[in-house]
Structure 1
Amino acid sequence: MVNAKTRSVRVVLGTGGTIAGRAADAADNVGYVAGEVGVGDLLQAVPPLQGLSLEWEQVAQIDSKDMGLAVWKRLAERVAHHLARDEVQGVVITHGTDTLEETAWFLQTVLGPQKPVVMTCAMRPASALVPDGPQNLLDAVIVAGCPGLSGVVAVAAGSIHSAAHVSKVHSYRVEAFDSGDAGPMGSVEEGEIRWFQPLPAPIRVSAVARLKAVLTAPALPGVALVVSHADADGRVVLGLLALNGMEKEPRTRGIVVACTGNGTLHADLAGALEQAHANGVKVVRATRCARGRVVPHAGDRFADSAGLSPVKARLSLSLSLLPDWH
């Protein structure tokens, strides 16, 4: 591990995922085991990274489908630690693709980093005939060294996406991520960054208080995610309310609904959500549409997600329910 006392140090934190996956057959891009290759070995496999002022640390080694609060705590703590070091220019996180957008939004919401925090990944395992991980990792390290960039971004397949807008939109192709209506922030082309949008101003959050609130929480407050659809009913919601009534401390404190269209709800589901609201459960509407957002209007019964996707809205609502969250 290199520790160069300069302002150009970039720290790479590994959490596992497909980028660190191995399969018995190099032609198999599906039947692999995620999180098999250490982050140090991933860096060694990218020759252009040799000689740079890099440090690495293995925070976790999991398939990102299993991501949860325990790993998020460790990751947030280590990111905050390294960003506080004067010599660190930025942090790169290798991550699985399945929940990358949620981890990116978690870190952005909790830490509001004033330096670049760059999430990267791969859709093919490290053992593939043509892995996409090495190029993504190289591009991410380049972006982490960008002067003036702050906040959490995701870098994959040559594109740079903001934490607020990035979503996984394809189950298999290497171009698996998209930023919806907002579009990508920029791209990495042969080692050079081309920005499509002005760099956003740093977002100030109560990072110390928020990190403490997360680190001291035994679990995130329970927020369920349900979907409105044709022939929907309210049984799932009513079931959650019934469970709440059986528990000393009700588990479900919020519900995010992936609505049809512009936040519309099946009448039967809406009725059940009204009951949940009357019982003190917070209800937030997002849209299940791949593009667009819920545009609020006078008379809305439930709050909208302010443009967040259903999974990010679920996370934001859960964090907002933590004690001492500011």
Structure 2
Amino acid sequence: MKKNAKWKIVLNLILLLVILGIMFYFIQNSMRDIFRELKETQLKVLVSVLFLGLLHQFFEGCGIKETVHGFSPNFTIFDGMMTSFYSAFYRIITFGAGTLLAELAFYKKKGIKISHGIGASALHMIAYKTAIVTYAVLNLILYFSLLLVQRPRLISLIIIGILLTLLLIISLVILSLSLNLQVGVLLFCNRFVHNQQLRNHIDRANLQINALHEAMQTVFKNKMTILKIYLFNLLKVGAWYAIPYICLQEETDHLNFFLTFALISFTLVLSGIIPSPAGIGSFDFVYLFMFQPLTGTVNTVSSLLLYRFASFVLPFLLGFLVFLTERRKAIRQELEEAP
């Protein structure tokens, strides 16, 4: 036991050093321009962006709390925010691969079963995508005539983006709730899959799908909970959508809040369907495409970097603090077990 404790301490220290190395790499490469922009930003703009970034995380915490309330009644808004920070940190450290695992791991620490955590994550994604589609549809209706005159080709792209996002939402709901689909997959496997090892994997997956179905049914029983989750996601997305206007209003006199709100809502639905050219991230490319004709290249890039700070860097840095707290507790416990 004592020997194992020593090895755990060593492994935790190695893990900490590796993650610090990855963080240094990201700060030197992906985040350098963002931090440079922060230095050149007016204090009131920076405070406003910081406030909207934290407001987003607060509403995120509210939404997560409502999502897992049926599985863990003592789960708080603060716990929900910590879940978001923790996931954001591992999203960057693992290049996106460990986001879901980090979210499930945090749920597990709060006494939520893995299957229930998967259900909560699925509903979390559904609510987020639904909020994005809601804003995109409303803004498309509001600015349809303007788009028809100035950017008619954009209308079809926005509609395609909305439809594809809706398709993703519907697919997630069907996979989460449909017993008929699950039975169909089982009947197909019983008839055509004869390899015993593969059948064992399918049986284990079926048990997880069963648990996921149970978890989603628990959440969907309460219509008021669903409404709260949806509204909190509208609020959290809206907090980020207000950032471009805050960043650009003083540099562009004719700028309209609702227009910038519409442009960023279109950016979110389009960035998922447009491939990224020349290695530029799809979101960055669409953002520049949307705002550059309105505000110019310099101002658009500046606002993009500040938006990235609020949506990308800020939750990552807060997640690093959560990670350090977790590692500190783990190392302290292992030191107590060591001779």
Q: Which TM-score bucket, shorter chain as reference?
A: under 0.3
TM-score norm. by structure 1 comes to 0.23
The answer to which structure has the higher helix fraction is 2
The answer to which structure has the higher strand fraction is 1
Larger Rg: 2
TM-score norm. by structure 2 comes to 0.23
